[in-house]
């Protein structure tokens, strides 16, 4: 069984640029959630995808958007990057019918300069 994977591991971008982060869910899982973790804080919910549709969103602006593909993998896109977007971005997957237990990937550390 393959766990949750994310790419890239690290990324450095300049303010105003756009970035795409990728996540492959654990085998058999069809729900993907994205979280942002700033330094020294707990993860904050960005949004969740289920069956390729957004299924809930946290308090993040529209420049944070996402996609889920038929194989349940997912992308997080952030436009017009700001310095405060520097954070660890975590993806979590869960299984329909057991959606309460979420399993996390290793994260992508984004630095915006």
Partner 1 sequence: GIQVEQSPPDLILQEGANSTLRCNFSDSVNNLQWFHQNPWGQLINLFYIPSGTKQNGRLSATTVATERYSLLYISSSQTTDSGVYFCAVVISNFGNEKLTFGTGTRLTIIP
* 15 or 48: CB nearest partner 1: 48
Could you give the CA distance from residue 27 to residue 31 in angstroms, rounded to a whole number?
11
* 48 or 112: CB nearest partner 1: 48
CB burial readout 11-40, b (16+ within 10 A) else e = eebeeeeebebbbbbbeebbbbbbbbeeee
* 74 or 102: CB nearest partner 1: 102
Q: How far is the CB of 16 from partner 1 (least distance, A)?
A: 26
Q: How far is the CB of 101 from partner 1 (least distance, A)?
A: 4
Q: Which residues lie near partner 1 (CB under 8 A)?
A: 31, 33, 35, 37, 41-45, 48, 50, 55-56, 58, 88, 90, 92, 94, 99-104, 106-107, 109
- H or E element in which residue 35 lies: strand 31-37
Query: How many CA atoms within 13 Å lie on the side-chain side of 45?
Result: 13
* 13 or 60: CB nearest partner 1: 60
């Amino acid at each position: 069984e393959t766990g949750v994977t994310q790419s890239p591991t690290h990324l450095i971008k300049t303010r105003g640029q756009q970035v795409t982060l990728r996540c492959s869910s654990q085998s058999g899982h069809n729900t993907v959630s994205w979280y942002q973790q700033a330094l020294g804080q707990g993860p904050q919910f960005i949004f969740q995808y289920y069956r390729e549709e957004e299924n809930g969103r946290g308090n993040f602006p529209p420049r944070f958007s996402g996609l889920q593909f038929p194989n349940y993998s997912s992308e997080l896109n952030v436009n017009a990057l700001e310095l405060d977007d520097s954070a660890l971005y975590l993806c979590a997957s869960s299984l329909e019918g057991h959606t309460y237990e979420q399993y996390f990937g290793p994260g992508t550390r984004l630095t915006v300069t």
